[in-house]
Amino acid sequence: DIKATNVLLDKGLNAKISDFGLAKLDEEEQTHISTRIAGTIGYMAPEYAMRGYLTDKADVYSFGIVALEIVSGKSNTNYRPKEEFVYLLDWAYVLQEQGNLLELVDPRLGSSYSSEEAMRMLNLALLCTNPSPTLRPQMSSVVSMIEGKIAVQAPIIKRSETNPDATVKALRSLHKTAKHMTFNVRETFQWIGQGLIPHFLHRNGYTREQSSTSNLL
């Protein structure tokens, strides 16, 4: 469950990843597992949220979201520049298509930042969040890109490929509804039709977790 709130800093500002209890690979020789979904909306890779298909590329996707949040100083799930955008990532795709990706940089930085380094991180974030897991880089390559050892290829992603209308409408509905509700939700999601809908449980005998929407969104 890679997200900003699970990255802890010690006194030396060394990052420590917490909360490993949600998902893991159970056998080294397995390349993927299918299991019930456990994670945070807005950080889960689409193939995992949709089909429960989990590989190391799911963490690459989540890292891309966190990188985008760090450079922009905004939350992927809470920042909505316009009503039609559910996530910060949606807006990033638009700016990338327009050639205005630097508009995402945290305005509090003013002019005291390297535009070259900012573009490297933003392009890397979009590369990591490619909707196709096979097109995402390995984390070893990500580290080399961050260190400047290898070039970051500018991602070519059309927003229409990542956000079908039905999916966007379903996520927007979930986003709005969840702001005003606290509910019991199983650590899984069902795809009903073409929309992501939380699977509410009203019967005994299932694993339940009392979750507020501040934890979900």
Query: 212: how many CB neighbours lie within 10 A of its CB?
Result: 11
Residue 5 to residue 28: CA distance in whole angstroms? 28
What six digits make up the tokens of 168?
A: 């966007």
Rg, the chain, Cα only = 18
Closest among 26, 18, 13 to 1, alpha carbons compared: 18
H helical segments located in the chain: 46-51, 56-72, 88-98, 115-128, 139-146, 159-162, 165-178, 213-216
CA torsion 94-97-98-101 (nearest 10°) is 70
Catalytic (active site) residue 26: no
For the chain, how long is the longest CA-to-CA vector? 57
- Cα 76 to Cα 21, 65, 90, 114: the distances in Å are 23, 7, 9, 23
- Cα 48 to Cα 32, 88, 147, 197, 203: the distances in Å are 10, 19, 29, 14, 25
Q: Among 1, 19, 26, 56, which one carries the catalytic annotation?
A: 1
Q: Which residues are catalytic?
A: 1
